Amino acid sequence: MEKVSADSFAELRPPARILLGPGPSNVHPRVMKAMLSPVLGHLDPDFVGVMEEIKKLLRIVFRTKNAITFPVSGTGSAGMEAALANLVEDGDEIVVGVAGAFGARIVDAAERQGARVHKVEAEWGRIIEPDRIAEALKAAKKPKLVAVVHAETSTGVHQPLEEISRLAHRAGALMVADAVTSLGCVPVEIDKWEIDACYSCTQKGIGAPPGLAPVTFSERAMDAVHKRKSKCRSWYLDLAMIEHYWGPERLYHHTAPITMNYALYEALRIVVEEGLEARWKRHRANAAALQAGLAAMGLEMAAEEGHRLPQLAAVLVPKGINDARVRDRLLKLFNMEVGAGLGPFKGKVWRIGLMGEGSRRENVMLVLNALEDILGAMGMEIARGRALAAADQAYVSLGLGAGEPRD
């Protein structure tokens, strides 16, 4: 075997990008600093203390008193798998709202667990109407659960959940919500809306790197977990086992990613320090300015008016403009990442994220300035500075004048 020297491999030096896509978002320096803390054993008393604090912090951010509230060791998709693998058994009828790529992903994951899925589909860019969910619940003989994406990352749609949750419970079903792109950006009211199971991620509104999936399960949901007729098909994500690791027994289940939990702990501290209401207001203000600036350039949103996410704008690519070329120029000329479209929106939208640490006034101005420059060079008739002026005016109308903080 040929002898290879470590010098054959370059030292890791990734560029410091401005991350304005659908995730991950940029990370606060305090979170990065927390990740430099010494690694402890996953049953070390000091780490157990961190685990307890994370659970308390997550209950604040999820707005819940649920005992079973902790981060699953895996990305947001692991949170989705955990919810479905634990609540769905062979032959269970479930209702899933599909209005984008991530609703479709729930369907795929549920069918792999043996579910009989009643899909309630909506056009990409529009919400799922509650009366359509009601019809699907009537069509099902004994619906086990209803699952809906709260913030559809592929379309920029903000899906109302409260009425759908009431319909689910009226039909004797559990309510499951995907809050991957909503937690920490917009209100997620687990107890108030009576959500039975919810999962999220760390790399978007929470402001940590990817790697953990915060989840919360109501007593009703855990009752369903404990009364399963068969074992959960996923050993790794079996809540009946994991709850004993995160609970007072501290029974060994797996080696938790210690450093990622440090990151989540500090990120949650920052969220609580800012205050949820203030954080939601910040996201709304920056979204209003961004959308005002985009409109001033003649750009349109893909999501229906009145149901647009403040943390993610799906912007329709103008006719005659090459989607990939614009994103390439943003990256190479401005060191800025925005997301491409998925599924039917491939090549048709840009997904601009203003999430968590990334939801900052300077980022709004940077991306608007960059788009003005790039699109103007590609032949679009754009009055230079109009987008920035429109964004500034949006801030002024919100009481945030030129002398106000930009984050």
Q: pTM of the full predicted structure?
A: 0.95
3-class state of residue 29 by DSSP:
helix
Whether 152 and 282 share a structural domain: no
CA 309, CA 158: separation in Å to the nearest integer?
5
What are 55's two structure tokens?
A: 């659970």
> Distances in Å between the alpha carbon of 56 and those of 68, 69, 175, 406?
11, 8, 23, 30
pLDDT at 6 over 90: no
Residue 38 CA, chain-centre distance (Å), reads: 29
Assigned domain for 305 exists: yes
Let me know whether 179 and 281 are in one domain: no
Q: Do 237 and 317 sit in the same domain of this protein?
A: no
3-class state of residue 181 by DSSP: coil
185 & 249 share domain: yes
Last residue of a domain, one of 220, 250, 272: 272
Q: Are residues 128 and 76 in the same domain?
A: yes
CATH code of 281's domain: 3.90.1150.10
At 406 the pLDDT is 44
Last residue of a domain, one of 245, 272, 299: 272
Q: Do residues 227 and 220 make contact, with C-beta atoms less than 8 angstroms apart?
A: no
Per-residue pLDDT tens over the stretch 342-388: 999 999 999 999 999 999 999 999 999 999 999 999 999 988 899 99
Shared-domain flag, residues 131 and 174: yes
pLDDT of residue 203: 98
Q: What DSSP line would sit under 270-299, residue for residue?
A: HHHHH-HHHHHHHHHHHHHHHHHHHHHTT-
Same-domain status, 237 and 375:
no
Tell me the pLDDT tens digit for each residue of 220-273. Answer: 999 999 999 999 999 999 999 999 999 999 999 999 999 999 999 999 999 999
Residues 224 and 328 in one domain: no
Residue 21: predicted pLDDT: 97
Q: Write out pLDDT tens, residues 307-347.
A: 999 999 999 999 999 999 999 999 999 999 999 999 999 99
Look up tokens 């959308």; give the residue: 291
CA torsion 269→275→280→281, rounded to 10°?
A: -140
Structure tokens at 97: 């709202």
Average pLDDT for 98-110:
98
**Which of 244, 272, 300 is the last residue in one of the domains?**
272
CATH number at residue 76: 3.40.640.10
pLDDT at position 3? 79
pLDDT at res. 402: 60
**In angstroms, rounded to a whole number, what is the distance separating the alpha carbons of residues 103 and 112?**
15
Query: Taking 90 as the threshold, does the pLDDT of residue 404 lie above it?
Result: no
Query: Under DSSP, is residue 394 helix (H, G, I), strand (E, B) or coil?
Result: helix
Q: What is the bridge-based pairing of β-strands 212-217 and 68-73?
A: antiparallel
What is the domain extent for residue 338? 276-397
In this structure, the answer to whether residues 93 and 208 fall within a common structural domain is yes
Residue 93 three-state SS: strand
For residue 401, pLDDT beyond 80? no
What percentage of the chain carries pLDDT values higher than 90?
Answer: 94
Separation of alpha carbons 388 and 366, rounded Å: 9
If one counts every other C-beta atom within 10 angstroms of the C-beta of residue 175, the result is 26
Q: What average pLDDT does the chain have? A: 96
One domain for residues 109 and 160: yes
pLDDT in tens, 46-60: 999 999 999 999 999
Is residue 156 within 8 Å of residue 313, measured between CB atoms?
yes
Split into its structural domains, the chain has a count of: 2
Query: Percentages helix, strand, coil for the chain, rounded to the nearest 5?
Result: 40, 15, 45
* pLDDT class of 7 with cuts at 50, 70, 90: confident
